[in-house]
DNA sequence: TCAATACTTAGCCTCGTGGCTAAGTATTCG
DNA sequence: CGAATACTTAGCCACGAGGCTAAGTATTGA
């Protein structure tokens, strides 16, 4: 466990930008083309495409080109690594609480 | 909602580094001093301190100096913003699924 | 008091990220 | 065919992140 550091890096980095979180959110509603997605942001297309590529290489989205249009889809599986990390974090915390309780128990006896 | 963009930025950026995730994980087990934390990483202390400051200004940890020692504590509240973002994301997805089901239902009738 | 400890400050360096423009390619529509 | 559309490629730029060393400050133990 915790061996997915590289994946976690990529996913957290990808989510650490409001534009990219916006895209993830939008794609949660369903697939969209690069053009449709880009329209929501005040930046040049090449700049926007970098965000798309970042999301794609983080595995958060998949894209495919049909004709001259590239369509993007959310890959919800990948978001699970964040959930997993949070779960692990909770687990660490709970073990700590257990130790504290045990400590108090020992004090009692 | 989704107005916490700046906070989310800071939190995701803070978590997008293995050193900092390591610190968060370690602090999940309980408070520690900067020196204790730094020992686990092969970098100079000033470099490590930057990570601590990043975590602190993201609100993920709190630190306080007593004598010459600075002690760090995890602020679990702040991790909740990540959970919240994930929950919102799930919500978006579920609404989408609902719409699809409704669409199929309409087709049926 | 003096040395060791535990940061802290200052300053420098390199690389990657996020933005841009300009020009190119490949489809599609009239 | 020719023009419009939808990216794509190339290349540039500025800034910030993450690393370093060297030197400074403030506590603490002997």
pLDDT at B62: 98
Two structure tokens written together for B80: 């909740």
Confidence of residue B107 (pLDDT cuts 50, 70, 90): low
Q: Residue B29 contacts by C-beta under 8 Å, 6 or more apart in sequence? A: A92, A95, A96
What distance in Å separates residue B35's CA from the closest CA in chain A?
Answer: 21
| Contact between B76 and A93 using a beta-carbon 8 Å cutoff | yes
Q: How far is A11 from chain B (nearest CA, A)?
A: 8
**A-contacting residues of B 36-75, CB under 8 Å?**
none
CA angle B39, B44, B47 (to 5 degrees): 105
Give ipTM to 2 decimals. 0.90
**Residue B101: its pLDDT value, please?**
73
Segment B49-75, tens digit of pLDDT: 999 999 999 999 999 999 999 999 999
Q: What is the mean pLDDT of residues A19-38?
A: 98
Q: What's the helix, strand, coil split of chain A in %, to 5?
A: 65, 15, 20
Domain chopping of chain A, boundaries: 5-108
pLDDT digits (tens, 9 = 90+) for A50-108: 999 999 999 999 999 999 999 999 999 999 999 999 999 999 999 887 776 776 666 55
What CATH number has the domain spanning A5-108? 1.10.10.10
Question: Residue B102: its pLDDT value, please?
Answer: 73
Please answer whether residues B15 and B101 qualify as being in contact, where contact means their C-beta atoms are separated by less than 8 angstroms. Answer: no
Percent of chain B whose pLDDT exceeds 90: 80
* Contact yes or no for B86 and A88 at CB 8 A: no
Closest residue to D17 measured CA to C1′: B50
pLDDT of residue B3: 52
Q: How confident is the model at residue A3 (pLDDT cuts 50, 70, 90)?
A: low
Q: What is the pLDDT of residues B1-33, one digit of tens each?
A: 555 688 999 999 999 999 999 999 999 999 999
- What are B70's strand-pairing partners? B65
DSSP string, A45-98: HHHHHHHHHHHHHTTSEEEEEETTEEEEEE-HHHHHHHHHHHHHHHHHHHHHHH
CA A1/CA B92 separation, integer angstroms? 30
pLDDT of residue A4: 63
Residue among A8, A28, A29 whose CB faces B21 most closely? A8
Cα(A56)–Cα(A62) distance, integer angstroms: 6
Using CB atoms, which residue from B8, B15, B93 is nearest to A21?
Answer: B8
pLDDT for A108 equals 55
Predicted pLDDT at A103:
65
| Shortest alpha-carbon distance between residue A2 and chain B (Å) | 10
User: What is the reported pLDDT for A82?
Assistant: 97
Q: Are A18 and B12 a contacting pair at CB < 8 A?
A: no
Question: What is each CA distance from A55 to A18, A22, A96, B33, in whole angstroms?
Answer: 12, 11, 35, 36
Query: Considering chain B, what is the average pLDDT of its residues?
Result: 91
């Amino acid at each position: 466990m915790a061996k997915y550091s590289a994946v976690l890096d990529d996913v957290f980095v990808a989510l650490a930008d409001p534009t990219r979180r916006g895209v993830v959110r939008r794609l949660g509603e369903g697939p969209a083309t690069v053009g449709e997605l880009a329209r929501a942001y005040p930046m040049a297309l090449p700049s926007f495409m970098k965000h798309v590529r970042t999301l794609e290489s983080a595995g958060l989205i998949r894209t495919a080109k049909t004709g001259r249009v590239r369509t993007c889809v959310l890959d919800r599986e990948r978001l699970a690594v964040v959930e997993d990390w949070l779960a692990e974090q909770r687990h660490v915390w709970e073990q700590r609480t257990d130790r504290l309780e045990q400590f108090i128990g020992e004090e009692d006896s």
